[in-house]
Amino acid sequence: MQFDGDVLTIEPELTMEEIREFEQFIRPRLDYIEVIDIQEGGVLHSSALLALLVSLKRTRPELSIPFLEQGKTTSNVYGTLNWICHD
């Protein structure tokens, strides 16, 4: 996790325990963050991170999460993963 002003950058390879810790960290600070970005080149290891990001976006719709907005990622193991997030 890395802060740069009001931008928070995280790795996509978070374990379930790290996702729980991330949620406990981010929820009280959500009003102070404008962008949550995912580091390039990583592989999404769990759909739990995707679910958490969707939950954060629904909690605060003006929050920018480019990873969600692009609607896809690629994996050497699974190929291209696509998703659709509705408001």
Cα three-residue angle 26-27-32, rounded to 5 degrees: 70
Rounded to whole angstroms, the Cα distance separating 40 from 13 reads 11
**With contact defined as beta carbons under 8 Å apart, do 44 and 14 qualify?**
no
| 87: in domain | no
Q: Which two tokens stand for residue 19?
A: 């996702």
Q: In this structure, what token pair is assigned to residue 68?
A: 């969600």
Asked if the structure places residue 30 within a domain, the reply is yes
* Within-domain flag for 65: yes
The verdict on pTM exceeding 0.75 is yes
- Furthest CA-CA distance within the chain: 36
Number of domains in the chain: 1
Q: Report residue 77's pLDDT band, with 50, 70 and 90 as the boundaries.
A: confident
pLDDT at position 64: 93
Please report whether residue 69 resides in a domain: yes
Residue 24 lies in domain: 2-82
For residue range 28-67, list pLDDT tens digits in order. 999 989 999 888 777 777 889 989 999 999 999 999 998 8
